[in-house]
Amino acid sequence: MTRFVERHPAWALIVIIAIAVALWLIFAVWPPGLEDAIGRKRVFLNAVFNGITLGGLYFLVASGFTLIFGLMRNVNLAHGSLYLFGGYVGYAISASTGSWILAFIVAFILTALVGVLLQVLVFRRMEGQDLRQTMVTIGLSIVFADLMLWACGGDFYQIQTPNWLIGPIELPLITAVKSSGEPVYLRYPLVRLVIFLASVIIGVAMWLALNRTRIGMIIRAGVDDRDILAATGVRIQIVFVLVFALGAGLAGIAGVVGGTFQSLSPGEDIRFLLASLVVVIVGGMGSIPGAALGALIIGLAEQLGSVYIPTYAIVVTFLIMVLVLALRPQGLLARR
Amino acid sequence: MLKGSLGLIALSSLLLSGTAFAQEKIKVGVTATLEGTYTVLGEDGIRGFQTALNVLGKKVGDKELEFVIASTDATPDSAVRAVRKLIEQDKVQILLSPLSGDEGIAVKNFAKTHPELTFINAASGAQETTYVDPAPNFFRYNMDGAQWQVGLGKYAYDEKKYRKIATVGEDYSFIYTQVFGLVLEFCGAGGQVTNRQWVPLGTKDFASVIAALPDDVDAIYLGLGGADAVNFLNQYQQAGGKAHLMGGSIMIDQTILSSKGNAKNALIGTLAASGQADTWEDPGWQKFVKDYQDAFPPNKRFPSPSLLATNYYGSTMALILALRQVNGDLSDNQSKYKAALAKIELDAPNGKIKLDANRQAIGTNFVTEVVDDGKGALFSKVVKVIPNVNQTLGYDPAVFAKIGLPSRTVPECKKY
């Protein structure tokens, strides 16, 4: 951080000013002139919160994707299928048992198992052949998509939100002041906040596991140089399987989350594959903090775009990707 | 996107195995949105098509009809690709296509490059398709989006006493046409449409759209369909939304009313208008519902046919009945068949249908309200039936032309 400030003082200043403006926009009561210019504060605050919570979902999908890429250099284009598979499993469990939490656990385990199978049966056989792996995973994603269409049909599935999570709560953020002087607080769907919190916890746990544990050390060493790591006697194949299982399991969890606050249907696999590709390209391939930053930027861009420039909302995320590729092709937080 | 770019998959061909005698066959190509946001709509459209085949049979004189089905994803290019594939590879002679608004405009334009073939619209409802520069070989036996809204604006103003409404709709031609019909009538009656929001087709996260809905209106009109409608309702419920709702023709439809989960309950009491009403007493309609129900097991269909099933049924009916009138004669660039199609009057399940000079349907429209049947299933209950709705919505054609084509901002909210 300090190094960044020393090396790029002008950029650091711009970033600090931008953060200050954003904080003021969020916490201050807007003067009437501003409301006339860019609309009500409630709309703005909602868009920001939605962007952040959507970023949480994107992070869950993209972190597994980037973890797998970082260690194994596999571009797993069947990652979106794992997301959708996790979602369908979650729906089946929550519909039959009524338990939302159990849906997460089972979805995690089953998609992790699929991930293990993928690693053992597919990727291990073509290690180091990037193009072949990419083509095979594209093929697999099509096969999975049609299998799931066959099994689940084209219907929309929604995982039932548990009763204690339905409805909005009031946040201590003032959106407006009534003429009587009484402040109006922001009302926000509870389920999105809980999901966001969960993705933060998962992100922090992953960071801790990578940076503070022995297995994390092995994985980081593998990211840097897996041949040397294998030469030191670590059984690298087991590490690969573990990481693949974790990455796939995270996609499964994300599927349950996505099925709860959006919906599951054929085509979602491709959408989330695309989203996670954009996220990791913006954040930097292979970097977990990069995935978090990328997810946040893309989520915010989508939501703010859909409110303030609805016609061009779809383009905004890709514009960001183009900009990043042009100015910093390795991604915002990539080390190399 | 990946799937789309990999080309079209002919999902199934309803081939009958060859009988002892080699029969002459007439090949018909069918497209439906079996991918993407409108998958459920496409699937039910195909159910309506199959119901029509069950009722009418596949024989025309001594010829046998053979069908090839191709999948699209509601984008115009996917529809043109599918139609081109059906014509060039499968050598179909008649097309039953497409399902969605933008697809309709594209296929109509494509139809002009094949004047020798016949195109029968399956279910698409953009106004432009038959109103602007119509193709002489393109026939539409369903009404357009604006015709399907006739009666809604006046009923909302007079009976529900709504004075100010806002709209949220998907950003493409069919919904423009629906909002066009609504605004024209509601503003004509004296109401105000304060805000029109447009969201891209396939939007998943509506939270910000929901937050931007105005508070100071009597009702919010939803022009959404398929997955978008379900996502909107789910997030609307999570956000604690309480406003009165009004719905477009594919919003208040079995594709949404029988979706899984309880988000659809937000729609109970919602006022809507469409080319059909689930609980209409008419014997023709009741027979169609029963045919549809008998054709599929309950878990493979909706409790009652959706608007798409009805449209595909009507279009298939026109296709087969006109073909029988000319005894399967497709000679001379199908000219006899086209003449028969232009003249035919259908006794469709949702009322009598005949075509105008642009080969666009004149039919019956229904204002409906969503009711719970007491067992948790939702249906649209008819509150008003309006017969003989034409494409200019009863306006003088010269006046109607001045209003302009449906778009994000047309028509203005005023009396024309």
How much is the pLDDT for A335? 67
Least confident of A8-17, A170-179, B372-381, B395-404: A170-179
Rounded Cα gap, residues A232 and A142, in angstroms: 39
**Count of domains forming chain A:** 1
CA dihedral B315, B318, B321, B324 (to 10 degrees): -100
CA dihedral A130, A132, A135, A137 (to 10 degrees): -80
- For B263-322, what is each residue's pLDDT tens digit? 788 899 999 999 999 999 999 999 999 999 999 999 889 999 999 999 999 999 999 999
Beta bridge partners of B60: B63
Q: Does B200 touch chain A (CB under 8 A)?
A: yes
The answer to whether the CB atoms of B227 and A167 lie below 8 A apart is no
Q: Which residues contact A33 (CB under 8 A, 6 or more apart)?
A: none
Of A156, A168, A307, the CB nearest to B240: A168
Residue reference for tokens 């005698």: B21
How much is the pLDDT for B380? 93
Closest-approach residue (CA) in chain B for A155: B40
User: Tokens for B90?
Assistant: 């499968």
Beta bridge partners of B386: B365
User: Is the CB of residue A174 less than 8 Å from the CB of residue A25?
Assistant: no
The answer to whether the CB atoms of B207 and A160 lie below 8 A apart is no
CATH architecture of the domain formed by B147-280+364-403: 3-Layer(aba) Sandwich (3.40)
User: Tokens for B370?
Assistant: 């969503």
A33 or B258, greater pLDDT: B258
Q: What percent of chain B has pLDDT over 90?
A: 76
Does A8 reside within a domain? no
Count of other CB atoms within 10 angstroms of residue B17 = 4
Q: Does A134 touch chain B (CB under 8 A)?
A: no
CB contacts, 8 Å: B212 with chain A: 39, 43, 46-47, 307
How much is the pLDDT for B13? 36
Does A278 reside within a domain? yes
Is CATH 3.50.50.60 the right assignment for the domain spanning B2-143+285-362?
no
Does A157 reside within a domain? yes
Decide if pLDDT at A77 tops 50: yes
Decide if pLDDT at B6 tops 70: no
CA dihedral sign of residues A130, A133, A136, A140 = negative
How much is the pLDDT for B265? 86
Does A332 reside within a domain? no
CA dihedral B391, B143, B81, B229 (to 10 degrees): 120
How much is the pLDDT for B3? 45
Does A78 reside within a domain? yes
Q: Does A156 touch chain B (CB under 8 A)?
A: yes
pLDDT band at A173 (very low <50, low <70, confident <90, very high): confident
pLDDT band at A297 (very low <50, low <70, confident <90, very high): very high
pLDDT band at A125 (very low <50, low <70, confident <90, very high): confident
Does A248 reside within a domain? yes
Q: How many CA atoms lie within 13 A of B122 on its CB side?
A: 36
Average pLDDT of chain B to the nearest whole number: 90
The answer to whether the CB atoms of A307 and B35 lie below 8 A apart is no
- For A31-63, what is each residue's pLDDT tens digit? 777 777 777 788 888 889 989 999 999 999 999
How much is the pLDDT for A336? 53
How much is the pLDDT for A27? 79
Q: Does A140 touch chain B (CB under 8 A)?
A: no
How much is the pLDDT for B58? 93
Of A161, A274, A313, the CB nearest to B238: A161
The answer to whether the CB atoms of A307 and B200 lie below 8 A apart is no
Does A6 reside within a domain? no
**Helix, strand, coil: what percent of chain A each, to 5?**
75, 5, 20
Count of other CB atoms within 10 angstroms of residue B332 = 10
Does A220 reside within a domain? yes
Environment class of residue B291 by beta-carbon count within 10 Å: exposed (0-12), middle (13-18) or buried (19+)? middle
ipTM of predicted assembly, 2 dp: 0.72
How big is chain A by its Cα radius of gyration, in Å? Answer: 21
The total number of residues written for chain B in this structure: 416
How much is the pLDDT for A28? 78
Domain borders along chain B are 2-143+285-362, 147-280+364-403
Say if B2-143+285-362 and B147-280+364-403 have the same CATH topology.
yes
Environment class of residue B54 by beta-carbon count within 10 Å: exposed (0-12), middle (13-18) or buried (19+)? middle
Rounded Cα gap, residues A121 and A101, in angstroms: 30
